[in-house]
Structure 1
Amino acid sequence: MENLVNYAVQYAKNGFSVLPMVGKRPLIKFADQPPLTADEIRKLWQQHPTANIALRTTNFFVVDIDRNHGVGVDGFQSLKDFNHPDYFRKTLAQETAGGGKQMFYLKRKDLEVNQNIGWLPGVDIKAHVNNYVVVAPSHNHGRHYQWLNRYPIATAKRELVQAINATNADSYSGTEASEFTGNKTATTKLFEQIINGLGFTGGRNNALASFVGGLLYRNVDPEIAYQLAMVANHNTEESLEPSEFDKTFESMMKKELRRRGSGSQ
């Protein structure tokens, strides 16, 4: 198996904060630490010659589009339904080992972008300085990450950042009342979806995946999340069959366990 140390060093020389990985798991503690130097990278890859490469999302963020045919969740379709192609400038992009796509954007200096896991069904925004993405030519289960183009990383449009932030988690701390704005947060929408259901036939799987992911991301107990999802499905005009429902829930549960195991998202 190819040693990726030269690629890792080159990424570092280009200003990225590099991490050595086993699969998608970091081999070192890195939270709030300075970037590895070229010498440190070489030493780590001597110890772990088959390590993959990840880059911390420090000065850039990633629109991570997942295609999961097994549960009917398609991030590519979610972006089409979002219907704002004008928000997405041409920029560096890669195909992931799982057949998804990741678009890289520089963070704006005038507007902070918030991390938003589950921004759209099948679409995550990875933006926290202690988050990361695995990059080419890393591999996973025999499949490789590969760059789709050689575009420079573009600065994100203001409209894209505003759209990402508009559906982020609540800012209410529980210690003091916050000003009422009239805007609905992601948590508001989760509450409403319990009663309103999962929508129309074509988007039920995506809606269920987003609903379950939103609950688990907020540390709702999995058994309670399952029961709440059952209520939402029951309140859907044409509810999902039990086998399809369970398949989607189990897929989102596995994704959440991977997220918690990595400690990165």
Structure 2
Amino acid sequence: MNTQNHPPIEQQLDQALRTLDLDTFHRLGEQADRDDAAREARLNAPEALANAARWYASQGIPVFPLMPGEKKPFPGSRGFKDATTNAEQVRRWWTAHPQANIGIPTGGLFDVIDIDGEQGAISYRELRDTDVIPRIYGKATTGRPCSRHLYIAATGDGNSAGVWPGIDFRGKGGYVVAPPSRTERRYDWEQPLDLAGLKAAAQ
């Protein structure tokens, strides 16, 4: 069945609840549970990191491998300076190290506001309704509670630590860990990356 013209399942659930269509509400809820289970199985599969690395590269986002379960590049590598979109190189890296986390450089198509822990979350709550925080084109949870990566259009600026309490900035010369990498927890997209919007902003 073609569902491309249907609203997201969350909107359908809300509509069913507002109209008291409980049969539809329960059916959609069961479908959402099945979708969530399938997504979890896909992201926990042995090939999940390799597939994600290939997808990023196919979308024009350079990647490079990080140590499994860590944020650090492999010893002897050049870290983010090795990042590439070359499909064959990406395949070789993740064939050799299928559990390698995924690093992506900042300062190209996007920069990242790094919200770290409870103090960062407090700062973000105070700033998010002001014009200090620019438009967000993607939001990812990280390996720590209360932590987020906010993807914004590239500014041309470099890295800055402690721009606000608990908040760092990743720009030129920096990198972040990309979903579905794992450290303490799995990194995950809370708001999918809007590549079209980022590319339009860069023009």
Q: Which residue does the alignment assign to 1:253?
A: none
| Contact 2:64–2:80 under 8 Å retained in 1 | no
> Do residues 149 (structure 1) and 191 (structure 2) align?
yes
Closer, same or farther: CA 49–90 of 1 in aligned 2, 3 Å: closer
Report if the CA contact (8 A) 2:134-2:152 is conserved.
no
How far off its partner does 1:84 sit? 4.9
1:51 paired residue number: 100
Q: Give the C-alpha shift of residue 126 in structure 1.
A: 0.6
1:184-242: CA deviation from partner (whole Å, max 9, x where unpaired): xxxxxxxxxxxxxxxxxxxxxxxxxxxxxxxxxxxxxxxxxxxxxxxxxxxxxxxxxxx
Query: Do 1:17 and 1:58's aligned partners in 2 also have CA atoms closer than 8 Å?
Result: no
Please state how far the C-alpha of 1:2 moved relative to its aligned partner. 2.1
Aligned AA for 1:54?
G
Deviations 1:75-94 (A, max 9, x none): 12113344653333242110
Structure 2 residue corresponding to 1:26, chosen from 43, 58, 73: 73
The SS at the match of 1:26 is coil
Question: Aligned pair in 2 of structure 1 residues 83, 41: CA closer, same or farther (>3 Å)?
Answer: closer
> Where do 5+ consecutive residues of structure 1 fail to align?
69-73, 156-265
TM-fit CA distance, 1:114: 3.1
Q: Does the CA contact (< 8 Å) of 1:97 and 1:140 recur in 2?
A: yes
Deviation at residue 63 of structure 1 after TM alignment: 0.4
The Cα of 1:152 is off from its aligned counterpart by 1.0
Q: Does 1:92 align with 2:138?
A: yes
Matched, 1:140 2:188: no
Distance 1:49 1:36 in 2: 17
Q: Are 1:63 and 2:113 an aligned pair?
A: yes
TM-superposed CA distance for 1:34, in Å, is 6.0
Per-residue deviation, residues 221-265 of structure 1 (Å, max 9, x unmatched): xxxxxxxxxxxxxxxxxxxxxxxxxxxxxxxxxxxxxxxxxxxxx
The offset of 1:20, in angstroms, is 0.7
Match of 2:149 in 1: 102
1:65 and 1:75 in contact (8 A); partners too: yes
1:107 partner amino acid:
A
Q: How many angstroms apart in 2 are the aligned matches of 1:136 and 1:44? A: 17
Give 1:151 deviation, angstroms.
5.0
Give SS of 2:191's match: coil
Aligned pairs for 1:165-180 (under 5 A) are: none
User: Could you list the runs of 5+ residues in structure 2 that have no partner in the other structure?
Assistant: 1-44, 199-203
Q: CA RMSD in A?
A: 2.2
Superposed, 1:185-264 pairs within 5 Å as none
- TM-score normalised per structure 1: 0.50
Evaluate the alpha carbon distance shift between residue 139 and residue 19 of structure 1 in structure 2; reply closer, same or farther with a 3 A threshold. same
The 1:146–1:7 alpha-carbon spacing in structure 2 relative to 1, beyond 3 Å, is same
Q: Is the 8 A contact 2:123 2:167 kept in 1?
A: yes
* 1:52–1:138 Cα contact (<8 Å) kept: yes
> Are 2:114 and 2:168, in contact at CA under 8 Å, matched by a contact in 1?
yes
Q: Conserved in 2, the CA contact under 8 Å of 1:90 and 1:151? A: no
Q: Are the counterparts in 1 of residues 136 and 152 from structure 2 also a CA contact under 8 Å? A: no
Q: Aligned partner of 2:92: which letter?
A: K
Question: Shift of the alpha carbon at 1:124?
Answer: 0.3
- Partners in 2 of 1:83 and 1:42 — Cα distance? 39
CA distance in 2, matches of 1:41, 1:120: 35
